[in-house]
Amino acid sequence: MKTALVLFAHGARDPEWAAPLHRIRERIAARRPALRVEVAFLEFMRPPLAESVLALAGAGHNRILIAPLFLAPGGHLKRDVPELIEQAQTRFPGVAIELLPPLGEIDAVLDETANWLAGKVQE
Amino acid sequence: MKTALVLFAHGARDPEWAAPLHRIRERIAARRPALRVEVAFLEFMRPPLAESVLALAGAGHNRILIAPLFLAPGGHLKRDVPELIEQAQTRFPGVAIELLPPLGEIDAVLDETANWLAGKVQE
């Protein structure tokens, strides 16, 4: 499989809002230099998810992991995102598109957040 | 100083959305059993920030750390939250109220997110 990753976030009107996605992207690039990593947004920012998937499928990737950089599954992740993925899946039946869990369901991320906060309390 | 922590998130219509806050709260309780940790929300969920601060100040806490569980500072963190904190600070001048950085500005959280995502690519 030729795998690619999409960092998918809500988006905001403020252009600086996307900075953390690029920080995560740089960190992944340091760990997996050969992996193609794109960003995508639900609203306010570009590109939308469909455009990132199109670019990756067009470049021959046949496994696309969507990492939703959301705290928890609310209306967006329960309704909007599955619909977007279904549309992309219909368009590219030969590509395996997988939705990863949101940040608040990843134990390692929760642990690290709790560690950091517990440390701040003592400062 | 008698310190307390508030886990502050956007909120959503879906009641399950708040689950990650409680997961983080449990993890902090395991690390700092004596620390009082409250949750608060900007919209859709209760309590609002003012109510959590009132409860903590009323219980004698004189240092309240607000941890914004947002990916990045957009309109909410740049405008709404400073205003809420200023209102709380005016109401409780003897309490030091500090806003911590959002998740996307915490290096340890970014590192752990990148580690986890880099690992998923190989599965």
Handedness of CA B18, B19, B25, B29 (dihedral sign): positive
Chain B nearest CA to A91, separation (Å): 23
Q: Give the 3-state secondary structure of A39-96.
A: EEECCCCCCEHHHHHHHHHHCCCCEEEEEECCCCCCHHHHHHHHHHHHHHHHHCCCCE
- Residue B103: what pLDDT? 96
Residue B99's contacts (CB-CB under 8 Å, 6 or more residues apart) are: B66, B68, B81, B82, B85
Note the pLDDT tens digit of each residue in B69-121.
Answer: 999 988 888 889 999 999 999 999 999 999 999 999 999 999 999 999 999 98
**pLDDT above 80: residue B122:** yes
Contact A10, A84 (CB under 8 A): no
All residues of chain B having their beta carbon less than 8 Å from the beta carbon of residue A105 are 20
**pLDDT above 80: residue B123:** no
Average pLDDT, chain B: 95
Q: Which residues of A are catalytic?
A: 10
- Residue A75: what pLDDT? 81
Residue A14's contacts (CB-CB under 8 Å, 6 or more residues apart) are: B73, B74, B75, B78
Nearest chain B residue to A15 by CA distance is B74
- Residue B24: what pLDDT? 98
- Residue A122: what pLDDT? 84
Q: Give the 3-state secondary structure of B67-115.
A: EECCCCCCHHHHHHHHHHHHHHHHHCCCCEEEECCCHHHCHHHHHHHHH
- Residue B76: what pLDDT? 84
- Residue B106: what pLDDT? 97
3-state secondary structure (DSSP) of residue A14: coil
- Residue B108: what pLDDT? 97
Note the pLDDT tens digit of each residue in B32-77.
Answer: 999 999 999 999 999 999 999 999 999 999 999 999 999 998 888 8
Handedness of CA B15, A75, B80, B3 (dihedral sign): positive
Instruction: Please list the ranges in chain A whose pLDDT falls under 50.
Output: none
- Residue B52: what pLDDT? 97
- ipTM entry: 0.95
- The label of the residue with tokens 């760990």 reads A31
Nearest chain B residue to A3 by CA distance is B121
User: Chain B, 34-73: which have a CB under 8 Å from a chain A CB?
Assistant: 35, 65, 67, 69-73
CA distance B82 to B79: 6
Per the CB < 8 Å rule, is A20 touching B111? no
